[in-house]
Structure 1
């Protein structure tokens, strides 16, 4: 008999589909699990035996073999317990076999028969819907899985409840989706005094999802600015919320089945390993770049990250996806994120202050920022200096636009892009446009084309840099409400692009 379980499956992520087959045969009593199981899977036989004993169900005195198919795919985790138990109940004809054939199930069994929560309920529900199957999952995962809406989700608390449902004695009501999480109060951009150029760069980054690099002395407000970026970003669309929640589901980060419309904001420490950043480890779990999908990845103290970790960001930035490759599996995760990096101008942090700078000026600054490779720096559309704020400015009342005002302009620019790329569903924002599409939407007027040609020749823009200037100028024009890309839009885009160019 077969009870299927799907461990990872949704758009942008490769599916891992496993069928649990249970067979009874003559011979000495034994309970074996085959199909490259790990220790947690092998121990399922003891958990299943104890759970069935709690229901007063005695296993037949025959050899029982559970096959996890395909046999050459390594199996990890405790979520195979429930499908193994259901397949076994069907094999000994306690549960009707036809009920199991159109069923997807995941869940860990406690020794007393309770069904314990596991990660990945949301993508499992997506896979079940794709196969036109119902899903049985732990009660605490039901609200999460029910967000899919395209399939019935049943969430028993115990194996007894699952058995009664499958035999028709006491059918379960389908689970209902969890609550949409209430967004926390966003930090206001007006709290940051001064730094008007940095605030403008933050607005452009949010409007077109352009990567931003900030350099400035300690205490100049780089982290404050980054922390206020979520407050000016538009909420996740329904599709984006589902995509993001599926990645978080695989990492067990969804709270009580609730789905948030807030964009993720991830800020890993600079001691993060490559597996933590890109993904990997046990089960090839998503890394920080994928947990920041459709949101913001903030890397403070950027040059302090290990060089190999920084270099692994180059490909995900360009493609919007990352492949976690292992000897026995290749798992593909989405990672369309807005990268915000912050750094001191040098190791001591006071490169531009003659009274406080170290004796190695200016070489210390070149050496410190030189830890960031040219190809990686080339991927930042916006590069700004964040100077120290004079104490007299701190005594002044808050000035400038609030986060709500800036968010309204960002939302208007995003709406323009949504209409612009309606015929190109793979493109959502200006930063993703390329090739013929970019030529069509960001072609500058005659004055702008002449200006950009002079800049490219004078400063030696790379092909990537040239196109990134066009994308940034297109976003600036959208914020300005302009259909054509004009010379002033290009001039502002170039001004952000050429910061630190001499240092490179």
Structure 2
């Protein structure tokens, strides 16, 4: 069979998207069907999973009542220098091929230029959810589009994405009807509303129940409430069975739910990580508790394509490192910059990615390998050198980043049988959650000093304590922020000497 070079070629252009960190990047998909010997070429720096799309798309078209075009099919993904990964572009490639081969009636060119097609195709033609679709939908206005076509199964997690028209497609054979509907003006949904009073009540009963299980440990319990109110990093150290992990997990229940932009940020992160997005409505603050065998890439992010790590999955919530001394020191030390900057910056070859990491760190540890160093209830069996090596796993700069450091001991059994003052505890919980939800900014420098409103005697006290304890500038600012939170919990406008003394008492002992 011969073809004439003068026969017209058919060309179609549609828009797909790929992930770039936690953001969506628009990809122009061009399909050309030439009347020459059959073949298929995919060009434009496609990753391995995307290069396999030819097989998925071919069978999906056949099983949906369409035909794989005869002739040479060339699919170009632009920009050509941007690496594209994942199966989210299956739908856009399939639509381009069907338009180029004349099997679909073309809608207006302007409508195609303003619509993203994002979904994976199953072999039977059913559309499957795509990783990162929430990020792509949220970025649609920035990408110059006003409509996004996704798998119908993902409509629920896109329910709270505003300012863009979202169309769900169940099966590839429904494409003709969908393209006809795209000709009508998009009905764009409004952006989600902000946080309401009812949202603050969400999870309050869980917080009361969690802290109601604690008996004794008044100092540690107060530190947890202060950490919850001010977003301070917390370290709990004590022997086995003293309640460290229970208190640390209770802190997660104290955090108010995420709403508005914060909730959308969590949905974006979960979608890019390939996790199930939270249901609509108030979103619980994340609590991530990775095992001590977690690698640096698992904690900070990595891989190819780069995916967010545990510290980013905890953004807006809590990162719990239980038995932190069991983590490799080289992994822990990589937390220092994200804790200070609130972001993780990764470089993988030519790929540079920045992930958000504004989270609260809470860590627990035994004081030594046997767990009984400095305990009044049992004798430590570790040699001094063993204790020193164990504690050295947490470097000085990392210790310095903890705002609250609490040494605990196991409580007598009689304390467990005593009733908790639930009414007073409930008041503390509500006050802590209200302060956290008020969103007090992270203060430093002159702003922090003005917020503390220290008088002359308070300034002299701070200078004296800081010199005696050998506090760094970071540690001094940390103590002042804790003092400001303590004053807020007590309803005071300024920070007095007693509040400063309590704040400095939470500094780690060298």
Matched, 1:56 2:69: no
Looking at structure 2, the residues matched to 29 and 237 of structure 1 have their Cα atoms a distance apart, in angstroms, of: 53
C-alpha displacement of 1:39: 2.4
Match of 2:99 in 1: 90
- Structure 1 residue matching 2:65: 3-state secondary structure: coil
Which segment drifts farther, 253-262 or 200-209?
A: 253-262
1:400 positional shift:
5.4
Q: Which residue of 2 aligns with 1:472?
A: 482
Alpha carbons of 1:403 and 1:291: their partners in 2 closer, same or farther (altered >3 Å)? farther
Rounded Cα–Cα distance in structure 2 between residues aligned with 1:402 and 1:91 = 70
Moved more, 349-358 or 301-310: 349-358
Once residues 452 and 175 of structure 2 are traced to their aligned partners in structure 1, the CA distance between those partners, rounded to angstroms, is 57
Equivalent residue for 1:142, pick from 155, 158, 164: 155
| Cα distance in 2 between the residues matched to 1:170 and 1:160 | 18
Give 1:298's aligned residue. Answer: 320
Q: Any residues of structure 2 matched to 1:229-308 within 5 Å, and which?
A: 229-255=251-277, 258=280, 260-308=282-330
Is residue 123 from structure 1 mapped to residue 127 from structure 2 by the alignment?
no
In the alignment, structure 2 segments of 5+ residues that lack a partner are 1-11, 193-198
Q: CA deviation at 1:401?
A: 5.4
Q: Is the 8 A contact 1:142 1:257 kept in 2?
A: no
* Residue of 311, 330, 340 corresponding to 2:333: 311
SS in structure 2 at match of 1:312: helix
2:466 equivalent to 1:456? yes
Specify the alignment match of 2:18 in structure 1: 7
Q: What CA deviation, in whole Å up to 9, does each residue of 1:9-47 have, x standing for no partner?
A: 79xx45433222222334322111111222221111121
Which residue of the partner structure matches residue 433 of structure 2? 411
Distance in 2 of aligned mates of 1:239 and 1:169: 28
Q: How far apart, CA to CA, are the structure 2 residues paired with 1:169 and 1:455?
A: 68
**3-state SS of 2:340 partner:** helix
More displaced 10-residue stretch of structure 1: 65-74 or 93-102: 93-102
Q: Residue 3 of structure 1: CA displacement?
A: 2.4
Instruction: Compare 249-258 and 389-398 and name the one that shifted more.
Output: 249-258
1:42-441 pair list within 5 angstroms: 42-93=51-102, 94-96=104-106, 98=109, 99-130=111-142, 131-168=144-181, 185-186=206-207, 187-255=209-277, 258=280, 260-353=282-375, 356-399=378-421, 404-414=426-436, 418=438, 428-430=439-441, 432-441=442-451
How far apart are the structure 2 equivalents of 1:126 and 1:346? 48
Q: 1:459 to 1:290 in 2, by over 3 A?
A: same
Displacement after TM superposition at 1:340 (Å):
0.3
Q: Which residue of the partner structure matches residue 46 of structure 2? A: 37
* Conserved 8 A contact 1:213-1:342: yes
Distance 1:259 1:140, change over 3 A: farther
Equivalent residue for 1:500?
509
Q: How far 1:295 moved relative to its partner?
A: 0.5
Range moving further from structure 2, 235-244 or 214-223: 235-244
Mean CA deviation greater in 286-295 or 391-400: 391-400
Contact 2:17/2:89, CA 8 A, preserved across alignment: no
**Structure 1 unaligned blocks of 5 or more:** 419-427
Using the TM superposition, give the Cα deviation of residue 474 of structure 1 relative to its aligned residue in structure 2, in angstroms.
1.1
8 A Cα contact 1:9 1:127, kept in partner = no
Output the CA distance in 2 between the equivalents of 1:168 and 1:89: 17
Higher mean alpha-carbon deviation, 164-173 vs 65-74, is at: 164-173
* 1:403 to 1:278, Cα distance in 2 relative to 1, 3 A: farther
1:20 aligned onto 2:63: no
RMSD of Structure 2 on Structure 1 (CA): 2.6
